[in-house]
């Protein structure tokens, strides 16, 4: 099935550093979503984007809906140990009831 290309696959950073990850698709989407998953838990919605060019923040997290509607970016500023987890992007379209998920970015933060 279709999946979004998410990069990087994994990141090992030091506490306090900023983080950037992105998601790209060959198809356009009307919605971009970013989720975080902690070990043993379900994905939790971080940010939802509904309009091309939209830039939305949630605390230290900022996400953008790409102008082409084929990509999205998530930035985390001043990382802390609790940012550890797997981050997933997902794209949605008006003509389907389904989301397409990225393969995930695994983030490790070292003190």
Partner 1 sequence: DAGITQSPRHKVTETGTPVTLRCHQTENHRYMYWYRQDPGHGLRLIHYSYGVKDTDKGEVSDGYSVSRSKTEDFLLTLESATSSQTSVYFCAIRGDRGLTDTQYFGPGTRLTVL
Nearer to partner 1, 14 or 95 (CB): 95
Taking the complex as a whole, the smallest distance from the CB of residue 101 to partner 1 amounts, in Å, to: 5
Taking the complex as a whole, the smallest distance from the CB of residue 31 to partner 1 amounts, in Å, to: 4
Q: Is 13:109 a contact under the CB 8 Å cutoff? A: yes
Taking the complex as a whole, the smallest distance from the CB of residue 68 to partner 1 amounts, in Å, to: 17
Nearer to partner 1, 9 or 78 (CB): 9
- 3-state SS, one letter per residue, for the chain: CCCEEEECCEEEEECCCCEEEEEECCCCCCEEEEEEECCCCCCEEEEEECCCCCEEEECCEEEEECCCCCEEEEEECCCCHHHCEEEEEEEECCCCCCEEEECCEEEEEEC
Taking the complex as a whole, the smallest distance from the CB of residue 99 to partner 1 amounts, in Å, to: 6
Residues in contact with partner 1 by CB under 8 A are 1, 3, 30-31, 33, 35, 40-45, 48, 50, 88, 90, 92-94, 97-99, 101-104
Nearer to partner 1, 24 or 31 (CB): 31
How far apart, in whole angstroms, are the C-alpha atoms of residue 39 and residue 94? 32
Nearer to partner 1, 40 or 59 (CB): 40
């Amino acid at each position: 099935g279709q999946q979004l290309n998410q990069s990087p696959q994994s990141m090992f950073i030091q506490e306090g550093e900023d983080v950037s990850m992105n998601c790209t698709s060959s198809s356009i989407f009307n919605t971009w979503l970013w989720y975080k998953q902690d070990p043993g838990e379900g994905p939790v919605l971080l940010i939802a984007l509904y309009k091309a060019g939209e830039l939305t923040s949630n605390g230290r997290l900022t996400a953008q809906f790409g102008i082409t509607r084929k990509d999205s970016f998530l930035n985390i500023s001043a990382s802390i140990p609790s940012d550890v987890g797997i981050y997933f992007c997902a794209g949605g379209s008006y003509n389907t009831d389904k989301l397409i998920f990225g393969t995930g970015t695994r983030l490790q933060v070292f003190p």
